Amino acid sequence: MTELLEGARLVAAPDVLIAILASAIYGLVVGSLPGLSATMATALLVPVTFWLSPIAAIATIITASAMAIFSGDIPGCLLRIPGTPASAAYTNEAYALTRKGQAELALGAGLWFSAIGGIVGTLSLVLMAPLLAEVALSFSTYEYFWLAFLGLMCATLVARSSPIKAIASMLLGLLIACIGMENPAGTPRFTFGVPDLLGGIEVIPALVGVFAVSEVMRAMVTAEPPKLPRRKFGSILANQWTLTKKYQWPMWRGNVIGIIIGVLPGAGADMAAWVSYATSKKFSKEPEKFGTGHPEGLVEASASNNASLASGWVPSLLFGIPGDTITAIAIGVLYMKGLNPGPTLFTENARSMYALYIIFILANIIMIPLGIMMIRMASLVLRAPRAGIMPLILLLCAVGSFATGNNLFAVLLVGLFGILGFVMERNGYPVAALVLGIVMGSMVEQNFITSLIKSDGDVMPFIERPVSSVLAALTFGALLWPLGVWIWNRTQGRRLPASGAAE
Amino acid sequence: MTETTRRTLLGATLIAAPLAAPALAQPRWPVRPVQMLCPWAAGGGTDAVLRIIAAILEKDLGQPFNVVNRTGGSGVVGHAAIAQANPDGYTLGMLTAEICMLHWQGLTEITYKNYTPLGLMNNDPPGIQVNASSPYRDVKALADAIKASRPGQMKASGTGQGGIWHLALAGWLGAMGLPANHVRWVPSNGAAPAMQDLAAGGLDFTTNSVVEARAMLDAGRARSLAVMAGERITAFPNIPTLKEAMGIDYQTGAWRGIAGPPGIPAEARSTMDAALDRAFKSKEYQDFLNARGFGLVYANAADFGKFMEQADASLGNAMKAAGLAKAT
């Protein structure tokens, strides 16, 4: 209890409160601009966090990402262009509502259920994480190896592209993780005599490149979004309570699906929204109304994508395995601020954890008034010329990556990863899998090698220990899942004589 | 004509006078901000120690001392930047024990000889930690168990392969007359994962610094049996030294000191030498290091040079014994 109060005291510090407010406004603006994702908003915050206290640094990331995920709904609803990929699943639905003259209802649903989803997701974090932390304290390198391996498998399993391309992206990430001498043998690998490569590819410049620079490049090759006509909005939150009561079940289902997807490594808010929108349609009593301006799917998916944000922090804080791309960046900041992820964070640094929970709740509460202001000012913000914003972002990427180590090499890395991210995205290779490979490659290798050293080369402890045997079974399940699906499709296909003949 | 020349001359002297004055008299240092390079990332232990020193120097010498983190290449990049900085005395930096290790591994040409040592400010000696439920009550019992064990049977960790704590283990085993690989080293990603694995029962002991073990010691999940230092650490008065506990006088540590590039002005060197002495003795510095559990060890400019020479030889021997050295 004293720790809860201590946590509240940490959050009540003026620098933390200012950080929350400023990052909330920043997140709302960045999220509403089409082409700028919540992950990018987080990546650009990293250099700013250098000058902040640890709690304020984490607060900016939590607040900005939550706001950006909601704010992405605004241009989706008004222009039919999702502000962030997390809103893409229900953009058509929201736009259809606007065309029916119910823009307030669509935006209000986005705001109200985002806030609810965020709070329910936080509660899942509050309940799950400390329980899991107790268990995780007895984890040795064997268990960590399986967890990291399982995380890599998830990245490919949940990718919305072809599994082959997802695996290719992940392997490229693993290769990048091999660079440097931070490996179990302490031997430089792939450094080509360049001293800057000895420490390996730093995760933060790689992420800034992949998520921010590549998005600027993408903006250059796509057409500028149309200007938003000025309009007056009626009451935003009217009717939301009726919606809450009417669509109570979809809302809860959205929350739960969001939480589960958030916990899975590599799958984040956009995946949560797609899955929730699909389940909503599947289980709806009136599926024929979907796509014509029906709020049911909006309710479920809006709750889901914000719920996934909070639960994505569970594996990140406990094991250092990112639940989504936003927490992949947050992990880097946690290390920088001396809040190293691990079960001990919950046992020894409980007040920081309570502070983190309070920030989550606070961010989702202030989302409602700030969100309403943002909706009312949307036409103004969306008028910002892209030719002015994109160079600014590029400049921030360069300055920010230089600030991390005062080393020009980091700026070069950002540029290179920007090009890599752009080319990969264009050809349908999921960047999230690449990022997971980079972040977790050394974790997989380190724990595998150290486990073998400890067991004198015996592989039995990997499957003998009770927890590791369960994790091993899960991993092989995930590994064989795409194969199973493929075989299932083939055997189903056999029924058709044509495909049998083609074979 | 003469009038103009005279006036010009007079004017020139007037303008030049304040500029020339310090050059003629003893040049004062510092007259502008000093950059302090840190080869490790912001938020780490080295960064924290350098920042407190910079803050004290700033108050003492009246010029800003700006800490700049020049990270990358496992410390190679930052250490090289200090050695190759303009020797005007306005770019200095912090050296860490790695400078006496990296060149043995063949990762850089730069050694401790490429610097002007200014002062040793801190040394964190390694401890010997075991799990709270370990049967070894003191370091003697552990040492006897090590001697009785098969080579490679016992496992220890604390940092990566060839890291400073790996060498501490190798040195300790050597002092007991055992080969460096008698206890198998399990490389880890720093001390925190090693301590976590020790608590989870995956290791026999760790040889990382006591301050890095502090969280697990406070939580009652691990015990520290001895510290490889000349005397006990102020912040951990209950942990005996190796000499007290088993009569072996082996000491090493992760040390940090201030240095500049070779050939910095004599004024800068003498001013820093005295200022670092004052900074080390200041209550602010002592309190900060004690609160964080960092070891308070000081040596002035001349002694820091000798200290690095000894450390370089000792770490080189440990690395050769452990088969980690590439250079000879």
Out of A141, A188, A405, whose CB is closest to B70? A405
Mean pLDDT of all residues in A187-197: 85
Would you place residue A498 in the very low, low, confident or very high pLDDT band (cuts 50, 70, 90)? Answer: very low
Name chain B contacts of A180, Cβ cutoff 8 Å.
Answer: 74
What kind of architecture, by CATH, is found in domain B34-123+253-321?
3-Layer(aba) Sandwich (3.40)
Closest residue of chain A to B214, computed from CA coordinates: A348
What was the pLDDT predicted at A158?
A: 64
Q: Which percentage of chain A shows pLDDT scores above 90?
A: 26
What was the pLDDT predicted at A159?
A: 66
The average confidence (pLDDT) of chain B is 88
Residues of B contacting chain A (CB within 8 angstroms): 41-44, 68-74, 76-77, 80, 105, 107-108, 152, 155, 157, 160-163, 184-189, 192-193, 196-197, 199-203, 215-216, 218-219, 324
Read off the pTM.
0.78
Residue B90 has pLDDT above 60, yes or no: yes
Q: How far is B10 from chain A (nearest CA, A)?
A: 46
Sheet hosting strand B299-300, strand order edge to edge: B65-69, B34-38, B91-96, B254-260, B116-124, B299-300
Structure-token match 């900074």, residue found: B279
Q: Are B224 and B236 in contact (CB under 8 A)?
A: yes
Tally C-beta pairs within 8 A across A and B: 116
Q: Where are the domains of chain B?
A: 34-123+253-321, 127-246
Q: Do A137 and B200 touch (CB under 8 A)?
A: yes
**DSSP SS3 for A12:** coil
What was the pLDDT predicted at A494?
A: 56
Fill in the DSSP letter of residue B205.
E
Residues of A contacting chain B (CB within 8 angstroms): 50, 137-141, 180-182, 184-188, 195-199, 202, 335-338, 340, 342-344, 347-348, 404-407, 409-410, 442, 446, 449-450, 453-454, 456
Closest residue of chain A to B80, computed from CA coordinates: A195
Closest residue of chain B to A408, computed from CA coordinates: B70
User: What ipTM was reported for this prediction?
Assistant: 0.71
Q: How far is B77 from chain A (nearest CA, A)?
A: 7
Residue B25 has pLDDT above 60, yes or no: no
Residue A202 has pLDDT above 50, yes or no: yes
**Per-residue burial over A263-288, b = 16 or more CB atoms within 10 Å of its CB, e = otherwise:** bbbbbbbbbbbbbbbbbbbeebeeee
Q: Are A474 and A149 in contact (CB under 8 A)?
A: no
What was the pLDDT predicted at B26?
A: 54
Reported as a single tens digit per residue, the pLDDT across B232-283 is 988 899 999 999 999 998 889 999 999 999 999 999 999 999 999 999 999 9
Mean pLDDT of all residues in B12-26: 46
Q: Do A195 and B152 touch (CB under 8 A)?
A: no
Name chain A contacts of B161, Cβ cutoff 8 Å.
Answer: 184-187
- Do B34-123+253-321 and B127-246 fold alike per CATH? yes
Name chain A contacts of B215, Cβ cutoff 8 Å.
Answer: 344, 348
**C-alpha separations of A490 from A483, A493, A496, A497, B112 in Å:** 10, 5, 10, 12, 66
Listed in sequence order, the DSSP H helices in A137-208 are 141-157, 163-177, 203-208
Fold of B127-246: D-Maltodextrin-Binding Protein; domain 2 (3.40.190)
Name chain B contacts of A148, Cβ cutoff 8 Å.
Answer: none
Out of A138, A184, A336, whose CB is closest to B161? A184
What was the pLDDT predicted at A497?
A: 44
Out of A186, A195, A344, whose CB is closest to B77? A195
Q: Quick one: tokens of B197?
A: 């694995």
Q: Where are the domains of chain A?
A: 2-225+236-493
Mean pLDDT of all residues in A64-81: 89
Q: Tell me, what amino acid is at A77? A: C
**C-alpha separations of B87 from B8, B91, B166, B226, B261 in Å:** 35, 7, 35, 42, 6
Q: How far is B57 from chain A (nearest CA, A)?
A: 21
Smallest CA-to-CA distance from B228 within B209, B206, B212 is with B209
Q: How far is A173 from chain B (nearest CA, A)?
A: 19
CA B129 to centroid of chain Cα atoms: 21
Would you place residue B48 in the very low, low, confident or very high pLDDT band (cuts 50, 70, 90)? Answer: confident
